[in-house]
Homo-oligomer: A and B are copies of this chain.
Amino acid sequence: MIGAGFMGAAHSQGWRVAPRFFDLDATPEMAVLVGRDSERTAAAAEKWGWAESATDWREVITRDDIDIVDIVTPGDSHAEIAIAALAAGKHVLCEKPLANTPAEAEAMAAAAETARAEGIFAMVGFTYRRVPAATLARDLVRAGRIGEVRQVRAAYLQDWLRDENDPLSWRLQKEHAGSGALGDIGAHAIDLAQYITDSAITRVSGTLETIVAERPLLEDASGFTGTASDAWGTVTVDDVALFNARFDAGFLGTFEASRFATGRKNALRIEVSGSAGAISFDLERMNELGVYDARADSASQGFTTVLVTEPEHPYIGAWWPAGHMLGYEHGFSHQARDFVQAIAAAVQPEPSFTAGAQVQRVLAAIETSAARDSVWSAV
């Protein structure tokens, strides 16, 4: 695994726990953790249960005893590492967003296509698809339970930038993060909407906004959080992204990604309105799915709050009895499971780099539209 930040902890938990609950056709071993800082990486490796640590990813990805490379670094390094790892014959799991630019993403998708011919697979880590309630939403839509999709409304609301004196971390710098709320959390909303509706976004009209443009620089320039220094810098990414989208099946979706939604911590919400029903999901109540059945008896129609913890529900059979909650990191176990099983079966795991690149193109089209006064732009 390359990368030792917050996402590293989540992926480690995924790899560690998945084989304890799921029956896997191959058992992952947590071999090497690669980070920039030798000491810190060694400490993280021990803490998270990796057998070794290293600082040179190029060396590690060519080792014979390595089969899978898991990339959890910031987006600007994804392309280089992933392409090299695929070239070295390693299966690659890469955190989202796939890359910081469409060009990089396309190159990665091309590399993945080439590798695939050799039986080497690549996948991008949109884990929220693997929250059981989100997977169930897709299953219900696919099964026709809400009829024809007519509208999507999606939002990913956070508020961790609310305090204007919070420092300027790498996530607020275009050169590292590519974009702000748009790519970081908007990308999740896009993937989830496309996944649940089984339809791709083809056109967008977008608006990007930086609400607080100047912030204190970090004392330590790396890291997700840190202490503010006395020096100030300019935020070069968006705080808020608003966009509407046309899907290839014809319907419209409305999206918001915000880091200034005061009081909302991690509210990835999606509601899909169909001709015969609707589904409604909120990541802040991730074990629940709202389901509306317009064909039900008229006296008792309404949104049903399904507690998605039944054995029949996606992934749940491997976990606890009904009514026992799953948490954030379970999605990473589900991802590890699905990735391992696909590789063991020599089947392309989803979402592929091609799918990741398409999301990247949507992001780019939103930026294009935003730069052109929100005029509708093709993906």
Contact = CB atoms under 8 A, between A and B. Distances in A.
Contacts of A298: 310, 312
A66 interface: no
A273 B277 contact: no
A159 B293 CA distance: 13
A278 B304 contact: no
A121 interface: no
Given A262-B273, A329-B320, A20 B12 contact: yes
Interface in A134-167: 136, 139-140, 145-146, 150-151, 153, 155, 158-160, 162, 164
A300 B304 contact: yes
A160 B307 CA distance: 14
A330 interface: yes
Contacts of A47: 20
Contact of A375 (B251, B292, B329, B374): B374
Interface size class of A (residues with CB under 8 A): 35 or more
Contact of A164 (B20, B275, B287, B302): B275
Contacts of A371: none
Contacts of A262: 146, 150, 273-278, 292, 294
B207 A302 contact: no
A306 B301 contact: yes
A125 to B, nearest CB: 15
A6 interface: yes
A119 interface: no
Contacts of A351: none
Q: Count identical subunits in the complex.
A: 4
Contact of A16 (B20, B158, B251, B322): B20
Contacts of A271: 261
Given A263-B277, A274-B262, A374-B376, A155 B153 contact: yes
Contacts of A263: 273, 277-278, 280, 292, 294, 301-303
B306 A305 contact: no
A48 interface: yes
B320 A6 contact: yes
Contact of A244 (B207, B264, B275): B207
Given A266-B323, A284-B307, 17 more contacts: A10-B320, A12-B20, A13-B20, A16-B16, A151-B211, A242-B244, A283-B323, A287-B327, A288-B302, A293-B300, A296-B304, A301-B306, A302-B306, A305-B305, A325-B326, A325-B328, A374-B374
Interface of A: 6, 9-10, 12-13, 16-17, 20-21, 47-49, 136, 139-140, 145-146, 150-151, 153, 155, 158-160, 162, 164, 205, 207, 209, 211, 224, 240, 242, 244, 251-252, 254, 256, 258, 260-267, 271, 273-278, 280, 283-288, 291-294, 296, 298-307, 309-310, 312-313, 320-330, 372-376
